[in-house]
Amino acid sequence: MSKVLAKVKNYEITEEMLNETIDALRAQQNINLTTEEQKQDLLDELVARQLVVEDAIESGLTETEEFQKLYREFIFQHSIGQMFKTINVTDAECEAYYNENQDQFKEETVRAAHILVDEEAKAEDLLNQINEGADFHQLASEHSSCPSGARGGDLGDFGRGQMVPEFEQAAFALNIGEISGVVKSQFGYHLIKLLDKKETVPFTDVLPQIKQYLVTKKQNEMYSAFTQGLKSKYTVEKA
């Protein structure tokens, strides 16, 4: 049996209760109480809280309609929370849902690199060099006026609506590894190389979203089945 550290009327505050409160503060608020003085201050706070509770009970607060509403809501939330603790959704379940519902995760994206220059003639010359065997990314590093030149022209992944229309149209029309002709935009003249193309959002990107959906689905199903079962146990009358 846990050691009793304080007593308010008939309510005992034990060492176990104090330690549980310390653990909760550490987990929820990253507050770490280690010294005996800190623990004593926390014990004093627990005593103070219980004094308020005792006074509320004595004053009849717990008999009010407002308190009874709050009490019933607490019982409901706590009961449902305990029931939902049994719910578990595995990554395998999420992957199965992902595979069975591919239409939900359609999102065409591409990854491209480009070389940006100010003059069309220079772009044509660079394209000729590439066609003759020059390395696209090396030329991007040496000649592109875009900051992406430092990465060999790599712009990373992007979807529709993220680039100027001329650039987007050309990039999405390419096959992986293919290089465009000279593309003019408001920024200058581009040579575009398609590095990758995806038509579906990767599973790892949507795993948290799917898991939350399946947890909520299981919660709703469990709650519905549970309350339907209770209707045969308790009398329900409607006006």
Per-residue pLDDT of the chain (239 residues; tens, 9 = 90+): 789 999 999 999 999 999 999 998 988 888 888 888 999 999 999 999 999 999 999 999 999 999 999 999 999 999 999 999 999 999 999 999 999 998 899 888 999 999 999 999 999 999 999 999 999 999 999 999 999 999 999 999 999 899 999 999 999 999 999 999 999 999 999 999 999 998 888 899 999 999 999 999 999 999 999 999 999 899 888 88
Domain that holds residue 111: 106-200
* Rounded-to-integer distance, Cα 175 and Cα 115, Å: 17
Domain count, the chain: 2
**In the chain, at which residue ranges do the beta strands (DSSP E only) sit?**
4-8, 11-14, 106-117, 154-159, 183-185, 188-200
Residue 238 lies in a domain: no
Residue 119 lies in a domain: yes
pTM for the model stands at 0.60
Residue 83 lies in a domain: no
